[in-house]
Amino acid sequence: MSRISELLEMTTPRTSVPTTATESPREAEPILNIPPLLIDGSGEAMEEFGCLYRNILILGQGHLKTVMVCSAELGEGATTVAMNLASFAAREENTPTLLVEANFHDPLLSRFQNGRGIEGLCEMLVDQGAVQNYVVPASIPRLSAISAGRLMPHSDRAWTRSRIESVVDQCRSCYPFIVFDAAPISSCEETLHLAKYVDGVLLVVRSHALAETVVRTKTALERVRARILGVVLNRGRPNIAPSANGSS
């Protein structure tokens, strides 16, 4: 797959304007304001994420609904790929899509959430509540999200086999396409637990990653019998936001 032009530029959420004394105190409904994406400003990037999405469908032969996007190490661009892939599916393919932030170590979605705080995946795993209780609509039509939630001490203990399987099954029953943005495998064993229950895994790798690191990550995924769909190669240049190159 050819080059995707630029990497997601993170923006900080706008500061809400305080209400005056005459206004009735009312919290805004939560919404996820997705920042500018690769597919917003580049026809080439749009084409490449479209190719990535269609390849996933082909590999799944109509039965692939849950995709986990992860990397070997921190900073390789997994969140960028996950957000753009989910946004493309929802906006360009008219597919109701759910983006799940399954990364408790470096959560980003809450930065883009306006309105009152809302519980997320952490609480869903602990309380085993219905998926509708944790979903937040996004600014992109047909895209919804579940953030990491309010992290608690020892949140990783909620990643039990039965709880993870229950969450994945619930999401699958409510949405035709679900993207899990997972933590790096090298620093988070929970990602391997999740990999067992999704339909497929996309591995994001930066171009200058050590071969032994990539092989070790691939071996770890194979050990838990995860289905590796392919690799998205992220090409970085010094002092310049890296671009992604996807291959299936």
pLDDT tens-digit profile of 57-114? 898 877 899 999 999 988 889 999 999 999 999 999 999 999 999 998 888 887 787 7
CB atoms within 10 A of CB 7: 20
CB atoms within 10 A of CB 212: 8
Q: What are phi and psi of 231, to 5 degrees?
A: -130, 140
Report yes or no on whether pTM surpasses 0.85: no
Alpha helices in the chain (DSSP H): 38-41, 43-60, 78-91, 121-127, 161-174, 190-195, 211-223
Q: Give the CATH superfamily of 38-247.
A: P-loop containing nucleotide triphosphate hydrolases (3.40.50.300)
Is the CB of residue 207 less than 8 Å from the CB of residue 233? yes
Q: What are phi and psi of 162, to 5 degrees?
A: -65, -40
Distance (Å, whole) CA 99 – CA 111: 15
The residue type found at 26 is R
Per-residue pLDDT of the chain (248 residues; tens, 9 = 90+): 434 433 333 333 333 334 343 333 445 567 888 888 888 878 888 898 999 999 998 988 778 999 999 999 888 899 999 999 999 999 999 999 999 999 988 888 877 877 656 789 988 988 888 999 999 999 999 999 999 888 766 666 677 888 999 999 999 999 999 999 999 998 888 899 999 999 999 999 987 778 888 899 999 999 999 999 999 987 655 443 434 444 33
Cβ-proximal residues to 40 (8 Å cutoff; 6+ apart), any chain: none
């892939």: which residue's tokens? 85
Per the structure block, which two tokens stand in for 165? 């399987």
Domain ranges of the chain: 38-247
Distance (Å, whole) CA 104 – CA 131: 18
pLDDT given for residue 236 in this prediction: 52
Distance (Å, whole) CA 136 – CA 146: 6
Question: What's the longest Cα–Cα distance across the chain?
Answer: 63
